[in-house]
Structure 1
Amino acid sequence: MADGADYAADRDQSGSTTVDLSELRRRNTPEPVTFKRRELDRILQVYSRMVAEGNCRDYAIDHLRDKAVFAAFRRTSEVPLYRIEKDPSRARKQGAFAIISAAGVVLKRGHELEIVLKYFDKPPRLVR
């Protein structure tokens, strides 16, 4: 049988098992999904451009067990204009990254964040 440290449990003289619940929960609880530093840098570049254009004023980041969410708000009290989500469970299917509108419509989805964030790039205009 493996030692007690592997199972966060110890046997006392009577043969009963003592389990350290905090250690067991820590081992059984998956780490939340997070944005990597380069991903977050690129998202914040897009967000800062939206702030400079006057479209956004606030943002929120949420790291959940199943996905990471960056939400951009026009005002703090409103629903987010856009949500940029990273959902690893969709990585092999439609792609881990998605841009979702305030109405819940998926605007763009893909495997690479750079390509997905091109949704926010404005098309070139003819200057006369």
Structure 2
Amino acid sequence: MIKALFYEFGEINVFKNFVIAIMKEGTTVKPEYNDHLVEIAHTYFHNRPFAYITYRKNSYAVDPMVYLKTSQIENLVAFAIVSNEEHKIKNAEIERLFLKKPLEVFSNLDDAKNWVNQLIENEDF
């Protein structure tokens, strides 16, 4: 891990090719939280691709409008959701409609990490 960042809504851990976000219990993810992701993209992934992994250990809500702004982050190339709870997986299918980036759902964190690492290391962005 390169850096752990803490916000009022949760934490974002920065790695070489991706970030892992863990939201706090009961949080509602709002479009303005993307400002933090834009800053992270510029600071830690300047001029190179990265992926976003959301590790859904806690229960929280997502305003789907957040994905319209997330889709505008040019060097964000993929989005992974980690959960093995059926209702969270169904929510991911709705979220997929709003995000204009590849989105996959995984039941464990290692599979998500492997997917994003392969995607980034084997593609020419």
TM-score (norm 1): 0.30
Structure with larger Rg? 1
Which structure has the highest helix share of the two?
2
Query: What is the TM-score of this pair, normalised by structure 2?
Result: 0.31
